[in-house]
Structure 1
Amino acid sequence: MLSFILPLLGRLHPLLVHLPIGFLIFGIILVFFPLKDFKNQVPFIRLAFLLGGISAALSSASGFLQYQHEGFGWETVQFHFYFGLATTAFSFWIFFYLKGKESIIPAIKYQAAGLSILLLLTGHLGGNITHGEEYLTEVLPPEIQSFLGREISENQGLVLPEQGWENLAYFEQVIQPILNSNCKSCHNPRNSKGELDLSSWEGVQKGGENGAIFHLVNWKESGLYSRLVLPLEDEDHMPPKEKRQPKKEEIELIRLWLEKGASPTLTLGQAQPELKILDPFFLREEIPFYPEIQPSLASEDSISFAKAKGFYVEPVFFGSAFLKVSCINFPEFTDADLKSLMGIRENIAYLDLSGTQGTEEILPSLAQFPNLTILKFNQMEIDGKNLEILSANSNLKWLYLNGTSIQFEQLDKLLQIPKLEKVFAFDTPLSQGAITKKYPFSLETGGFQLPKIPSDTIVY
């Protein structure tokens, strides 16, 4: 009936362990930063080390009980236990050594420094047991982790190729990366909490102290899945709430693997997962929107000159050498005013001339803007007869022609712009006719209609 006492005392270890830390740090601080009358402080310093030693002994005893009843492997806790005993013994040693001392001598400071190191190592090893060896390093940038000697390639998590994902081995190339990034820090050959090793198929198949972690007949009862979907506050929820939690898509992939038989030879294609589950893990090459090679920063004098003329000028994003230039406050702009931007033409990636007095005669001058990516001609006298000149703007991606008089026959002149992605032509003659030709760029002409919903007919 009283068999619960020892396991309960073991579980008090996380509470007791903070007592010696507080007492000993207080004593160490008084050794290194004493008040003027050290002789009167000695009893308080000795008391701090005495209480620290007693609480460290109690903490070591409760930790040993926790090891015996919580399923920790001895190889996992042994060094933490030994350092805890050393901290206990050294605390009592300093307590007795200080007896009769009336002044600080170097030996006392050396001993206090040694105790500080012992305390730090003991706490560090205890933290590794509780949170895993990678608790502090796993949040660091990969470059810093590599510098510190941590192997990160196998724990980077799930990454899928967009082509050929069907041929991936479901366990080895999908489930194992999920376990590596979410579970391996606590369940590995060295730190097998609950006698469970999730770093390999053999460990997953073997299970832990409570037996198998997956069941082929009733997969919903598999601990590998059922613990993941428990409420976060439930003490049986895994991973613990203070640890990194798997994504909902990762949990779904584990569920599907179990549902399909949890076979080590099953392929991802054979399991037929929904693409929306896989989508967050596809490795996609991010293509920058603006040119990759940035020019030198524009001179402040050239920017000030353009602003004085009436242009609005700012970086396209913080720290970029590319500039956004707009005539929002300069409606009287004419073609001749473009020369005011020649000093920063290599930096201009976004140019908005909408609503100004500019004409198509400006196009040859714009050909000298090598990094122009977004160009806006909205509500200008543009009919599109000379748009082929824009083929010189090899980085142009978005062209705005809203409110102009451009015709369908003029669109072919845009086919020579190599990177053109979108053309916006709302409120133009193009908006009146049907688009019968397919273009390599997206053509937006308006005329969108939203479907009616029940609330549209409600009368208030």
Structure 2
Amino acid sequence: MSENLLLFFGRLHPLLVHLPIGILMLAICLHFLARRPKFASFGLLMPVLWFAGAVSAVLACVAGFLLKLSGGYDQGSVDTHQYLGIGLAISSVLLVVFGNKAIFKKLQTPAVLVVIILLTATGHYGGNLTHGDDYLTQPVYALIGKGPGKKERPPITNVNEALVYQDLVEPVLEQKCWQCHSSKKQKGDLRLDTEEYLLKGGENGEILVAGNADKSDLYKRLVLPLNHDDRMPPKGKPQLTEAEVQLIHWWITAGKGDFKKKVAQVDKDQNIDEIIAEVSQRSGQNTESTQPSEIPDVKVAPANPEHVRQLQNKGVVLMPVAKDSPFLTANLVNAKSFSNADMQLLANLREQILWLDMSGSTISDAGLQPLAGFKNLTRLSLDNTAVTDAGLKHLAPLTNLHYLNLYGTQVSDAGLKSLTACKSLKSLYLWQTQVTPQGVAALQKARGNGLHVNFQSTTDTTGTL
């Protein structure tokens, strides 16, 4: 039997593994119900269910073993999952063989309890292999402001003194890549959690070409179409934002992939300054990278504490843009349930919000209507939302808007016409949209040379204008 055929059967493991889970869970429930006279008839189903559960558990074990042979998993973690799964299969088989024997009747319930424990533990460790060790506990830790297993990173107080890789690039890799490429899991025999392994590369060779991001797999795979087989992260996994992709491009090209250089030691333009500010903001780090020109020269009252509390209860992260400043940044990264109807809560702080990040949220065109009143807004991130051309007309009154990210939205050339009114707009991100080069050219002609457009259509994999 060829290696590829064995791998095919191995990759059926994620499908097969749900069969014993469902069947055994049903058998467990009926076992305890059948102890009551009212449901005693359920006992007739037990031999069939235990048999089906045992067979499916054995098949899942075989497929899991074949998948393990393909490599790419932490040996200790996968062994624990494997042995628990084998124990579950053996326990299920024993229930089939001895379940109806009179001598086993008193031991049947303890045996079922063993199956419950093994089923729970096997599923938990399998989930850890697939989603990461902190998949189950991460939401709990997020509520108390902690991150299990995360590297402790001191706040950046002076962005020019920050290390490009350690302080800016590595947090992005940790959040978006380490789940599949770290000490716990090595897809493609690749680890991205240490400098040594980044330089080593994976099964296809080196992934860093110092000074040339376009020849570096670490960057090239980030900008492939989402449905491409080699796209990283693959479809269905959390994607890097356009700013994060550009940050990695800058580190490899201008920074030569150096792990020790500080921001001040690497050539950068205003666009990179803004990207650094955005990435720092998303990582929850308070920096001094806010450009003075982005802070409107107007006086506003401090935010109403009650309005702040209402937003924080929704999961919105609010931070001052600078010490003792009334202006705020608002980030919806943890506000998973934040909807169009909740936008009025943000509107209560329309004067104070300077930066607004709604990336990946459920906000759509209707939710953008209140933004017309955010006169002091300078930075707006709408990447990977359901926003279309209809929503962009609400942005026309934003005369102080400097930065707009529409990456991964459905906006087209028609929607860009609404942005000609945003006279302060300097940076516009249009990767993976319906916009065409002709639409970008028309916008730049209408706006003059003061607008920098980062552009990549859904049918084009290269280029910025």
Same fold (TM over 0.5): yes
Query: Structure 1 residue 238 and structure 2 residue 239: aligned?
Result: no
TM-score by length of 2: 0.56
Q: Residue 242 of structure 2 aligns with which residue? A: 248
Residue number in structure 1 paired with 2:31: 31
Match of 1:276 in 2: 274
Partner SS for 1:213: coil
Q: Unmatched 5+ residue regions in structure 1?
A: 295-314, 321-373, 375-449, 456-460
Aligned to 1:95: 96
Cα deviation for residue 129 of structure 1 reads 0.8
Alpha-carbon distance, 1:124 to partner: 0.9
For 1:62 and 1:140, the matched residues in 2 are separated by 33
Distance 1:230 1:37, change over 3 A: same
Question: Counterpart in 2 of 1:82?
Answer: 83
Describe the SS at the equivalent of 2:144: helix
**Counterpart check, 1:121 vs 2:137:** no
* Alpha-carbon distance between aligned partners in 2 of 1:155 and 1:33, rounded to the nearest angstrom: 52
Q: Give how far 1:272 is off.
A: 2.5
By how many angstroms is 1:292 displaced?
Answer: 8.4
**d(CA) in 2 for partners of 1:13 and 1:243?**
19
Mapped contact 1:67–1:74 kept (Cα < 8 A): no
Decide whether aligned partners of structure 1 residues 128 and 317 sit closer, same or farther in structure 2, where only a CA change above 3 A counts. Answer: closer
- Spell out the pairing of 1:33-72 with structure 2 (5 A cutoff): 33-34=33-34, 36=37, 40-72=41-73
Q: Residues of 2 paired with 1:171 and 1:291: CA distance?
A: 36
1:86 & 1:180 partners in 2: Cα distance?
34
1:182 and 1:173 map into 2 onto residues whose CA distance is: 15
SS at match of 2:51: helix
Deviation at 1:223, TM superposition (A): 2.2
Once residues 40 and 172 of structure 2 are traced to their aligned partners in structure 1, the CA distance between those partners, rounded to angstroms, is 60
Aligned to 2:358: none
Superposition TM-score, scaled by structure 1 size: 0.57
**Does residue 199 in structure 1 map to residue 211 in structure 2?**
no
Name the counterpart of 1:4: 4
Structure 2 residue 111 is the aligned partner of structure 1 residue 107: no
**1:89, 1:232 → 2: CA distance?**
42
Query: Counterparts of 1:284 and 1:215 in 2: how far apart (Å)?
Result: 30
Structure 2: stretches of 5+ with no match in the other structure? 312-350, 352-422, 425-442, 447-465
Quote the offset at 1:291 in angstroms: 5.9
Q: Is the 8 A contact 2:53 2:92 kept in 1?
A: yes
The 3 A distance-change label for structure 1 pair 139 and 271 is farther
- Alpha-carbon distance in 1 for matches of 2:187, 2:221: 15
Query: How far has the Cα of 1:141 moved from its partner?
Result: 5.2
* Equivalent residue number for residue 401 of structure 1: none
Structure-2 change in CA distance of 1:318 and 1:64 (3 Å) = closer
Q: Aligned equivalents of 1:26 and 1:293: distance in 2?
A: 52
Could you tell me how far apart the structure 2 residues matched to 1:250 and 1:83 are?
A: 39
Quick check: 1:27–1:46 contact (8 Å CA) kept in 2?
no
Secondary structure of the corresponding residue to residue 99 of structure 1? coil
The letter of the residue matching 1:232 is L
Distance 1:217 1:109 in 2: 65
Report the structure number with the largest CA radius of gyration.
1
Instruction: Please say which of residues 58-67 and 211-220 is displaced more in the overlay.
Output: 211-220
* 1:48 to 1:268, Cα distance in 2 relative to 1, 3 A: same
**Residue 154 of structure 1 aligns with which residue?**
152
Kindly state the Cα deviation for residue 227 of structure 1 after the two structures are TM-superposed. 1.9
Post-superposition offset of 1:48: 1.0
Q: In structure 2, do the counterparts of structure 1 residues 89 and 316 end up closer, same or farther at CA, with 3 Å as the change threshold? A: closer
Report the Cα offset of residue 203 of structure 1: 1.8
Output the amino acid matched with 2:216: S
Contact in 1 for aligned 2:73/2:184 (Cα 8 Å):
no
Matched, 1:216 2:206: no
Match in the other structure for 2:461: none
Give how far 1:142 is off: 3.4
Q: How many percent of aligned residue pairs carry the same amino acid?
A: 31
- 1:130 CA drift (Å): 0.9
1:119 and 1:204 map into 2 onto residues whose CA distance is 37
Give the 3 Å change call, closer, same or farther, for CA 99–75 of structure 1 in structure 2.
same
Amino acid at match of 2:13: H
Q: 1:177 to 1:101 in 2, by over 3 A?
A: same
Distance 2:108 2:76 in 1: 34
Distance 2:307 2:10 in 1: 59
- Quote the Cα distance in structure 2 between the aligned partners of 1:78 and 1:90: 18
**Aligned partners of 1:140, 1:31: CA distance in 2, in Å?**
33
Quick check: 173-182 or 215-224, which moved more? 215-224
Partners of 2:125 and 2:116 in 1: CA distance? 14
- Report matched runs for 1:310-321 at 5 Å: none
2:379 aligns to what? none
